Chain A
Amino acid sequence: EVKLVESGGGLVQPGRSLKLSCAASGFSFNDYWMGWVRQAPGKGLEWIGEINQDSSTINYTPSLKDKFTISRDNAQNTLYLQMSKLGSEDTAIYYCARDYRDFDYWGQGVMVTVSS
């Protein structure tokens, strides 16, 4: 069974950094592109970016490229999202997803709240 489990969310002060993790199981992690999507409270989905199998190609939505960094550890079957200079606009549920036929499997999401 494919499983994606995000962790690392919580309350963070404006201007600080946070790193999210996504633990994958039930499939051959190093065979797939992986991505991150977020959803602000009551809003639609926003594509953050994705990374290819060997981390040689990473694409971001332009507005987040200087703040967010996607990485992966294939030995640990884990995807990461490093977020810096966080602001209130970054308050959202963050989902990791497997990219096969588009995003065919999603994690349950992790909440990040940016507030003083």
Chain B
Amino acid sequence: DIQMTQSPSSMSASLGDTVTITCLASQDIGNYLSWYQQKPGKSPKLMIYGATNLEDGVPSRFSGSRSGSDYSLTINSLGYDDEGIYHCHQYYEYPYTFGAGTKLELK
């Protein structure tokens, strides 16, 4: 199975900050990587698909990038509504796998 190593596991940032969350794939997954945001008690919400594509309705403050096997989610101008857990997900090869999640809190 492809392992997705996500970091950090948790982080705290201030309003207006820029934060970056990273996932490292254990083997090549091309651009078959998505990012989800999950708020407490809610279902995950697709934010980024295809490593860099913004899902409809997602603010442009969110962006995805890739450098080799490293995939990053960057959030600019952090707001309180951005708090939650972020999950990466590879859908290149079965079985699909998720990263362990990053809990983002605002100070």
Contact = CB atoms under 8 A, between A and B. Distances in A.
Interface of A: 37, 44-47, 49-50, 59-62, 95, 101-104, 106-109
A64 B98 CA distance: 16
A44 B46 contact: no
B46 A103 contact: yes
Where chain A touches its partner, the secondary structure class is strand
B95 A101 contact: no
Interface size class of B (residues with CB under 8 A): 20 to 34
B95 A59 contact: yes
Contact of A44 (B45, B55, B91, B101): B101
B76 to A, nearest CB: 22
A83 to B, nearest CB: 17
Interface of B: 1, 34, 36, 43-46, 49-50, 53, 55, 87, 89, 91, 94-101
A102 B34 contact: yes
Nearest to A107: B43
A45 B46 contact: no
A109 B96 CA distance: 19
Nearest to A103: B46
Contacts of B36: 45, 103
Given A101-B55, A103-B46, A45 B98 contact: yes
A59 B91 CA distance: 12
A106 B44 CA distance: 7
